[in-house]
Structure formats: structure tokens, C-alpha cells
Amino acid sequence: MFRSLLLKIVTVSLLSTIGALAAINQLTQISGFGTNPTNVRMYLYRPPNLVANPALIVAMHYCTGTAQAYFTGTQYANRADTYKNFIVLYPHAPDSGGCWDVHTNATFTHNAGGDSLGIASAVRYAIQTYGVDPARVFATGTSSGAMMTNVLAGAYPDLFAAASAFAGVPYACFAGAGMWSNACAGGTLTKTAQQWGDLVRSGYPGYTGPRPRIQIFHGTADTTLSYRNHAEGIKQWTNVFGYSETAAQTQQNSPVSGWTRSIYGPNFQSISAANTPHNIAVQENDVLQWFGLITGPNNPVATTSVPPIVSTTSSSAPVVTPTLPPPTNCASKFAQCGGSGWGGATCCVSGSSCVVMNNWYSQCQ
């Protein structure tokens, strides 16, 4: 008993030490970043030797969490140190319980208020102040932070290029409740795909531009936010993107042994984490690939010298295939070598061969 408790304490403190020591620089609080009706606090991480026009990741904590806790408990900051191509904003919820406002109509609606507006203001400020590339702004979070990730994807589709949510609930699932919705959390709140999609579309009335690519992760043994929310989220985002609710492709043991990735189309995927409770491990490498910031099998955009796949202007429009000159060289190891719409090299440099990862991405391995 004592021994296992001791082991637990050692494990937890070791984990937080790894996180804290891994980042070279410290978090800095920023203020005066624009309209912030609920007083969301905002913390910035900038790695040494940052590239010009970096990408931006907004990383959001769980209930009772803090910006500092998500900074030390995830690996985004030390990955920023390594790759130097993005900065991280860690918003800090103003609520005394440390949860995000994911229930008011203001937070669900573009520029209408709530915690989401404070975060959107900080993103706009970062674009103006730190030279952030406006085409590469991303949102991610865990639990309440994953709910806010869904909210931002719905209310601010113009600001975010992609999103990744760990153990959250669909956009507007907590609507009308207080800070906590037993119906949504318990998985008894269900809607049709059309209803869920309509809610997202009402987040920014009249908006017709591209929407952020989104991936949602959820543990099948989650007793805090029922796994049924995963199915509701699949209904919601497949409706928004006009995809079938039946996955076009599934990948076993991806990105973790025992987990299953379902791919519905280039803009939406869900990852079911077998036997995993609410406390799901953040998959930073997979997220950074999804955001197109590092190479890997889940990076949906070209990462070599060819231009990225042109995004469509509406969810129902056909995918525009870029026309590229024929390749002159074979792709290098870990570079893309095929996939739907791919116009680059389909051969690999010697020592590696082209492996099909999914319909949209093949890689030299």
C-alpha cells in the first residue's frame, strides 16, 4: 500500500519534472491583447531562435488546471524548442473552478463574448505582434480545454487552420447548462448529425470560408465525459464537412497500440482509445503532424518543397488538386511519396521505399 503510493508520487513528480525541465524558456504572461470580456489570463511560450512568421498553437487546460500546469504537463513547449517553428499560447480560465465557459451563447458565437472571445483576441494580437502566420494557427486542449477547442473551431473558423481535442464534447453540448452539464457529460444528450452541424454553422452566421481540420481523441473507459460524446462529435464534424459517418479508412494501433484511428476525409478524423479513462495521454507528435508542423504519417499537407494541397472554400466543394511540375528527384526518407491529389515524386531515394499510410498520404520509409 505504502509502496504503491510512493511509486505513484515518484511517477507523477518525475513526469512533471521532465515537462518543466524540457522547456528552455519560461512562460510570460501577456496583457492588453484586446477585447477580453471575461478576463481570460494569457501566457506565451516563445522558444529560443524562433523562425520568422512562426505558427501558433493555443493549448488549453482541463478543469482545475492552469496555464502553467498545461505548459509543464505537455510537451508542446519543448517541441517548440526543438523545431523552432511555432509559439504556444496557454490561456488560463477565469472561472474559480478552472473550467472554460463552454455553455453561454456568447462563447459559442463569433465575436459575441465569453471566454472564446478573449482567446480569439489573443490570437489576433499574436498575429499582429509576434508575426504569427495567420494561416497556421491551431487549437488543442484536454477535457474542458478540448470542449473549448470544439467551441473555437465552431465560433472562429476564420482564425484556426486545424484543431485537436482530447476527451472533450461536441461544440454546444454544454449549451444552456451552467459550467457543468450532467446530460452532456453523462452521454444522455444526443442530437442528429444535422442538428449538431446546424449548431456549428450558427456559431458564425453567414461564414462560407474554410473550416479548421479537426481530430478528436476519446478513451472508451471515460467515466467523466462519457465515450458516447465521441460518437456525437463524429456526427457533428462529419456533417459539417459533408462526409459519411462511416469512416473511409481505419488504422489500428494508431498512434498508440490498441487505439483506432478513423479517417472520414482529409478534414476530420477520430481516434478511439481502447480501455483508456478520462485521463488520456496527450499525443504531441500526432498533433504536431496533424497541424502540419512536423513530418510524419499523420501530416496531411506536403512538407517538402511542393506547395500544400489547396484548401476548398466550402465544405461541400470538391477538393482542388494542385497542378505541379513532374518530379525531377525521388523523395527523401520520411517525405511524402503519394496520396490522393499528390503531384510530387512517387519514387523514394535508395534505402527507403514508398509506404501507403492512408488515402491521402504515402511516405518514404
Ligand X SMILES: *[C@@H]1O[C@H](CO)[C@@H](O)[C@H](O)[C@H]1NC(C)=O
Rounded to whole angstroms, the Cα distance separating 272 from 264 reads 14
Element of type H or E holding 234: helix 228-241
Cis peptide before 307 (omega within 30 of 0): no
Pairing, β 361-364 against β 354-358: antiparallel
Stretch that binds ligand X, among 70-78, 104-112, 115-123, 239-247 (CB under 6 A): 104-112
Which CB, 170 or 255, lies closer to ligand X? 170
Q: Which is nearer to ligand X, 202 or 250 (CB)?
A: 202
Instruction: Name the residue among 180, 165, 151, 152 with its Cα closest to residue 280.
Output: 165
Smallest separation, CB 160 to ligand X (Å): 17
Asked if 304 is part of the footprint of ligand X (rule: CB under 6 A), the reply reads no
Q: Residue 149, SS3?
A: helix
* Other beta carbons within 10 Å of 171: 30
Which residues touch 304 (CB under 8 Å, ≥6 apart)?
331, 332, 335, 336, 344
Nearest CB to ligand X, comparing residues 110 and 278: 110
SS3 call for 260: strand
The least distance separating ligand X from the CB of residue 242, rounded to whole angstroms, comes to 20
Sheet holding 354-358, edge to edge: 336-338, 361-364, 354-358
CA distance 263 to 240: 15
Q: How many CB atoms neighbour CB 118 within 10 A? A: 24
Looking at the Cβ atoms of 147 and 172, the one nearer to ligand X is 172
Q: C-alpha cell of 236?
A: 457533428
Residue number closest to ligand X, CB atom? 202
Element (H, E) at 115: helix 114-129
Residue 215 C-beta: closest distance to ligand X, Å: 22
Q: For ligand X, which is the closer residue by CB, 68 or 202?
A: 202
Among 25, 53, 66, 105, binds ligand X (CB under 6 A): 105
Q: Which is nearer to ligand X, 105 or 224 (CB)?
A: 105
Site for ligand X in 118-177 (CB under 6 A): 172, 175
Q: Phi and psi dihedrals of 312, rounded to 5?
A: -80, 160
Among 36, 109, 299, 358, which residue interacts with ligand X (rule: CB under 6 A)?
109
Closest CA to 208 of 317, 320, 319, 322: 317
> By 3-state DSSP, what share of the chain in percent is helix, strand and coil, each rounded to 5?
30, 20, 55
Size, binding site for ligand X by CB under 6 A:
7
Q: Looking at 152, 199, 288, 301, which residue binds ligand X (CB under 6 A)?
A: 199
The distance of closest approach from Cβ of residue 106 to ligand X in the complex, given in angstroms and rounded to an integer, is 8
Figure out which of the listed residues 45, 108, 264, 291 binds ligand X, where binding follows CB under 6 A.
108
- How far is Cα 138 from Cα 76, in angstroms, rounded to an integer? 12
Question: Out of 143, 164, 254, 270, which one is annotated catalytic?
Answer: 143
The residue range among 38-46, 87-95, 105-113, 126-134 that interacts with ligand X, by the rule CB under 6 A, is 105-113
Q: What is the rounded distance in angstroms from the CA atom of residue 218 to the CA atom of residue 18?
A: 25
What's the min distance (Å) between Cβ of 150 and ligand X?
Answer: 11
Instruction: Kindly identify the residues of this chain, within the stretch 167-196, that bind ligand X according to CB under 6 A.
Output: 172, 175
Least Å distance, CB 105 to ligand X, is 4
Q: Candidates 15-23, 38-46, 103-111, 253-261: pick the segment binding ligand X (CB under 6 A).
A: 103-111
CA 138, CA 163: separation in Å to the nearest integer? 6
The stretch among 93-101, 102-110, 227-235, 288-296 that binds ligand X (CB under 6 A) is 102-110
305 catalytic residue (yes or no): no
Q: Which of 66, 68, 190, 202 binds ligand X (CB under 6 A)?
A: 202
Binding site for ligand X (CB under 6 A): 105, 108-109, 172, 175, 199, 202
- Residues with a catalytic annotation lie at 143
